[in-house]
Structures are given as structure tokens and as C-alpha cells.
């Protein structure tokens, strides 16, 4: 039996308007290459960095959200390495004295619940990007382009302790982290766009012998699904080695989307290869206690706080509260709709059901879908008063959205009013009885289930407009004869 040990190193791009140490714009995703650069972020001789205050605030907010202790005195360091996408030849980071340390997040996976310790959060800058011709790596490429837009884009690196024990937990943790960073507005959380990136460390321990495998680090994971998949694949590979009495090498591997396997990139570099030393061009970073207190007081509502409030204030089950709270736009829509309709649980059901399905199908946000909560209110009251069936309400929802027309108007236009008229229902049942005397006989011999057939026949004859409760009652009365 092996236990799995996983720790994550996560880079989150901060949503500041300008870069970490210069005035270039920071939202460079999909910009024309090399259009958001200056002497500072391209490392021209003599250009000096100036720290962006927003970066510090965002890092502190992330630290507070993750229950870290904040350092009032932290220091920037140089991490030295050579690569064409790093024109300065070093990255500015915080190695010895990171701004935040020793925090934790509470992780609920639905299967388990545990505390994941955060070892540190530090500020650093991103490097540029290379585009290789003909291949996706520099080796074997006939030529490479260099886009320095991303140089100097502010990041925080969040390092967890190795407290995760399954690939699934790692994925849920990444989702929790995304929700947390989004809730406080410091990072978009889009893994697909590289705004949130994760390196996953994994090792296996043999419970019988107490011996552990070497640790492997997986890079290049760019989606929540792949966090889980890459770790699952690596878990199997390590177990396979251990089963044969071998160990895996301590190395850095990359996840290959195509083969769904990891492959070796390089043996792991040692920290002292980077020759870290304090950045001489930046002063020590001093943050006043009052600033930290101010940010703590003004920290937006965190995902778990919102979940607790939704349960308490609206009486929602944990599951509903979790789904609704995980997207801030959906959460505010829910709150507005609950207020307007006075029916929070119905709102939750509709949002988690048809509304989110339509959002997915059309690839729209809740705002873009544009369903006025007043129309939900109208739908609910038409259902409650028996004017339309729930089925009709669901059927007309896309039309309400597309035509931006009130549900009442659509119901009227199509003549979708529920048939509560017993005569009409009776007529439909009598006809079905005539058409299928065999079913009548079956019912009378005690086969209760046949009742559904008659109710179905009524629904079909009335195109779903009959009141199902009435249809049920009347069918039973007529069949029992």
C-alpha cells in the first residue's frame, strides 16, 4: 500500500493595470507581440525598477485570504538564470523574506475535509514568451520568435505544504484557490489563459517499509482537469517503479496533452544554481501595520464565507450554496432573483438547472444570457397558480430569453395555459381508453403502473398543457369506473 503526497506551487497573475516594476500595461494576453514593453521590463542597461503599490496590496490580500502571517519587512531578490525570454538574465522575486508565510486553507472535497497549509506567498515578475517555428520547443526548431510583453507582469507564487493526498484533492484545491483569488479580485483565475499556473510535486510512500519515493515535479499543467489527470498518470508511473523495487529519478517532468502522460524535461535543479542575492535596485519593502489592517477590514467576502451566508440567509443546502457561490456573477444574480421572487430555493433550482445549462450550451455568462429576474418571478407565480405546468415553464424559458418577452405574453401567444378544465381532461382520457382497451383491462386487473400511460396520453393530447395532478385524479376515477 502506498500513500500519495502532493504539494503545489502555483503562479497567479495579478490583475493590476500596470506591470510590477514599470508603467507598461499588465493585461498582455493576446496583445500584438512586443507592444507592451519599455526599457525597464526588457532589461536595458541603466533602467531601474519601481515597485507598483497595487502589487503589494494584492499580495497582502491574498495572504490575508489564506490566513497567512504578513511580513511588514520583506525583501526582493534576484534569481539568476539565462534564457532568451528573460532579457535581464535574472528574475526579481522574494526568496529569503517573502511577504506572506504560514497560512492555510480549509479544503472540502465532498468526500473529505482537511486543512492545507500554505508555506509561503511571495511576489515575483513573469518572464516573456517564445514561439518556436515548427515545434513546441526550442530544440529542433528552425527559429524562434520572442515576445517580451509578459516580462515584468506581476505574479504571486503560492507554495503549499505537501498536505494533499489524492490527485482529486489537488484539483479541488486549485478550484478553491481560483475561487478565492477571484473573490478578492486579484487574479482572473483562468488557467486556460495562463493567468493561473500550477507545478505539482508528487511522491509515494510505502506504508509497509516506511520508505518514500523520490519526488517528481510536473510542469506545464494548464487546466483544472489536467491537474488531476497529470497527477493520476504520475501516481501510476511511480507506483509501477516501486512495485519493481526501483525508484523514480528526482526530476522535473512535463505533462503532454496529446499522450496523456508525463515526460522527463530535466533533472531537478538545485536552489543554489540560481545564486539568489538581494536585489540591489529595490529598497527593502516596508508595509505599515495600518495598511495591512485596512486591507484586512476591506477584504471582500471569501468563498466559504459566502457559502455559509447562503445557507444561513436563504436556507439553501450546502451543495446549492457551493455551486452558486463559486461564481461571483451567478452568486449576485441569485441574490437579486431571491430578493425579487421571494423564493430562494426555486431560484437555486432554476439557476443550477436550466439556466446554467443554457449558459453552457451558448457559452454565455449569466449577464450575457440576460434573463430578467422579474421574468423568473412571473414564471414561478404562473406555476404556483396552476396557470402553466412546470414543464411548459421550462419549455418557454429559451424563448423568454431570446425574445426578451415576458413569460405571460409568450404563454398567451402560444395558448400554453394549463388546462385545468376537467371536461377537456376527461375527454382526452375517454379517448385513450377507447383506443387502448387492453390497457384499461390491465389496470382493472390491478396493474397500477398503467395509470401513467393514461396521464401520458392526456399530456400528449393537450401538448403538455393539462394539469398533471388533475389528469392523475380523473384518470384514476374513470378507470376504476
**Closer to ligand ADP by Cβ: residue 204 or 410:** 204
Note whether 9 binds ligand ADP by CB under 6 A: yes
Instruction: Give the separation between CA 242 and CA 203, rounded to whole angstroms.
Output: 11
Strands, sheet with 277-278, edge to edge from the N-terminal-most edge strand: 90-93, 77-80, 277-278
Note whether 5 binds ligand ADP by CB under 6 A: yes
**Helix 451-461, helix 422-435: angle, nearest 10:** 120
Bridge-based pairing of strands 196-206 and 154-160 is unpaired
The count of chain residues that interact with Zn ion, using the rule CB under 5 A, is 5
**Is residue 158 within the footprint of ligand ADP (CB under 6 A)?**
no
**Interatomic CA distance for residues 324 and 109, integer angstroms:** 16
CA gap 337, 377 in Å, rounded? 8
Sketch the per residue contact string, 257 through 296, with ligand ADP: x for CB under 6 A, - otherwise: --------------x-------------------------
Count of residues interacting with ligand ADP (CB under 6 A)? 14
Rank residues 43 and 398 by Cβ distance to Zn ion and give the closer one. 43
| Residue 4 CB partners (closer than 8 Å, separation 6+) | 165, 166, 167, 202, 203, 204, 205, 235
Interaction of residue 166 with ligand ADP, rule CB under 6 A: no
User: DSSP character for 189?
Assistant: -
Instruction: Name which of 426, 454, 455 is nearest 440 in CA terms.
Output: 454
Q: If contact means CB under 5 to 8 A according to the sort of partner, which of Zn ion, ligand ADP, none does residue 399 touch? A: none
**Least distance (Å) between residue 240 CB and ligand ADP:** 17
Among 99-107, 155-163, 232-240, 284-292, which window interacts with ligand ADP (CB under 6 A)? 155-163
- Which one of Zn ion, ligand ADP, none interacts with residue 161, CB within 5 to 8 A by kind? ligand ADP
Distance in Å from the first CA to the final CA of the chain:
67
Q: Could you give the string, one character per residue 24-43, with x where binding to Zn ion holds by CB under 5 A and - elsewhere?
A: x-------------x-xx--
Taking alpha carbons only, the member of 24, 30, 29 closest to residue 13 is 29
With respect to ligand ADP, which residue has the nearer C-beta, 56 or 159?
Answer: 159
Q: How many residues in total does the chain contain?
A: 481
CB of 243 to Zn ion, least distance (A): 52
Question: CB–CB of 295/61 below 8 Å?
Answer: yes
The minimum distance between CB 229 and ligand ADP, in angstroms, equals 18
If one asks whether residue 162 binds ligand ADP (CB under 6 A), the answer comes out as yes
**Orientation angle between helical segments 468-480 and 437-444, nearest 10 degrees:** 80
Nearest-10 crossing angle of helices 318-325, 303-314? 130
161 interacts with ligand ADP by CB under 6 A: yes
- Shortest CB 45 distance to Zn ion, Å: 15
Q: Of 60, 202, 338, 432, which lies in the binding site for ligand ADP, with binding defined by CB under 6 A? A: 202
- Min CB(175)–ligand ADP separation in Å: 17
Contact partner at residue 479 from ligand ADP, Zn ion, none, CB < 5 to 8 Å by partner kind: none
Pick between residue 22 and residue 68 the one whose CB is nearest to Zn ion: 22
For position 8 contacting ligand ADP by CB under 6 A, the verdict is yes
Q: Does residue 22 bind Zn ion (CB under 5 A)?
A: yes
- Cell of residue 146, nine digits: 520572442
Closest separation between CB of residue 172 and ligand ADP, Å? 16
* CB of 176 closer than 8 Å to CB of 105: yes
The Cβ of residue 96 has, within 10 Å, a number of other Cβ atoms equal to 12
- Residue 201 touching ligand ADP (CB under 6 A): yes
Residue 221 binding ligand ADP, by CB under 6 A: no
| DSSP strand pairing (113-125 vs 129-132) | unpaired
Distance CA 33, CA 29 (A): 10
Q: Name the site residues for Zn ion (rule: CB under 5 A).
A: 22, 24, 38, 40-41
Q: Name the site residues for ligand ADP (rule: CB under 6 A).
A: 5-9, 159-162, 201-203, 215, 271
Amino acid at each position: 500500500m502506498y500513500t500519495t503526497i502532493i504539494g503545489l506551487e502555483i503562479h497567479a497573475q495579478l490583475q493590476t493595470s500596470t506591470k510590477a516594476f514599470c508603467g507598461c500595461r499588465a493585461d498582455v494576453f493576446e496583445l500584438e507581440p512586443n507592444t507592451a514593453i519599455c526599457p525597464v521590463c526588457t532589461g536595458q542597461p541603466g533602467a531601474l525598477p519601481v515597485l507598483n503599490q497595487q502589487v503589494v496590496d494584492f499580495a497582502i490580500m491574498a495572504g490575508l485570504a489564506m490566513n497567512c502571517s504578513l511580513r511588514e519587512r520583506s525583501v526582493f531578490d534576484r534569481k539568476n538564470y539565462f534564457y532568451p525570454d528573460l532579457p535581464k538574465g535574472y528574475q526579481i522575486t522574494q526568496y529569503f523574506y517573502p511577504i506572506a508565510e504560514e497560512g492555510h486553507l480549509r479544503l472540502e472535497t465532498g468526500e473529505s475535509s482537511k486543512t492545507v497549509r500554505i508555506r509561503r506567498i511571495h511576489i515575483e515578475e513573469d518572464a516573456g514568451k517564445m514561439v518556436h517555428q515548427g515545434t513546441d520547443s526550442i530544440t529542433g526548431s528552425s527559429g524562434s520568435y520572442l515576445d517580451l510583453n509578459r516580462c515584468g507582469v506581476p505574479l504571486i507564487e503560492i507554495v503549499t505544504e505537501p498536505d494533499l493526498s489524492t490527485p482529486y484533492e489537488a484539483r479541488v484545491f486549485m478550484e478553491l484557490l481560483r475561487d478565492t483569488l477571484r473573490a478578492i479580485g486579484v487574479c482572473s483565475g483562468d488557467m486556460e489563459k495562463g493567468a493561473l499556473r500550477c507545478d505539482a510535486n508528487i511522491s509515494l510512500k510505502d506504508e509497509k517499509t516506511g520508505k518514500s519515493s523520490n519526488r517528481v515535479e510536473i510542469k506545464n499543467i494548464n487546466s483544472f482537469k489536467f491537474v488531476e489527470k497529470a497527477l493520476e498518470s504520475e501516481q501510476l508511473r511511480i507506483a509501477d517503479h516501486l512495485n519493481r523495487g526501483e525508484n523514480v529519478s528526482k526530476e522535473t517532468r512535463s505533462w503532454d496533452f496529446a499522450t496523456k502522460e508525463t515526460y522527463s524535461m530535466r533533472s531537478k535543479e538545485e536552489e543554489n544554481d540560481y545564486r539568489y542575492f538581494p536585489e540591489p535596485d529595490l529598497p527593502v519593502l516596508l508595509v505599515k501595520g495600518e495598511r495591512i489592517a485596512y486591507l484586512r477590514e476591506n477584504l471582500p467576502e471569501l468563498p466559504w464565507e459566502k457559502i455559509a451566508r447562503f445557507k444561513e440567509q436563504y436556507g439553501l443546502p450546502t451543495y446549492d450554496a457551493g455551486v452558486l457561490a463559486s461564481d461571483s456573477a451567478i452568486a449576485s444574480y441569485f441574490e437579486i432573483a431571491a430578493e425579487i421572487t421571494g423564493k430562494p430555493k426555486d431560484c437555486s433550482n432554476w439557476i443550477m438547472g436550466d439556466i446554467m445549462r443554457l449558459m453552457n450550451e451558448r457559452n454565455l455568462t449569466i449577464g450575457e444570457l440576460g434573463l430578467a429576474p422579474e421574468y423568473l418571478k412571473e414564471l414561478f407565480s404562473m406555476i404556483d397558480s396552476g396557470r402553466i405546468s412546470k414543464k411548459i415553464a421550462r419549455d418557454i424559458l429559451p424563448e423568454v430569453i431570446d425574445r426578451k418577452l415576458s413569460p405571460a405574453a409568450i404563454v398567451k401567444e402560444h395558448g400554453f395555459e394549463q388546462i385545468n378544465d376537467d371536461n377537456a381532461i376527461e375527454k382526452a382520457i375517454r379517448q385513450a381508453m377507447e383506443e387502448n382497451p387492453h390497457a384499461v383491462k390491465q389496470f382493472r386487473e390491478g396493474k397500477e403502473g398503467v395509470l401513467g400511460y393514461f396521464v401520458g396520453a392526456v399530456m400528449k393530447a393537450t401538448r403538455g398543457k393539462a394539469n398533471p395532478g388533475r389528469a392523475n385524479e380523473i384518470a384514476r376515477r374513470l378507470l376504476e369506473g
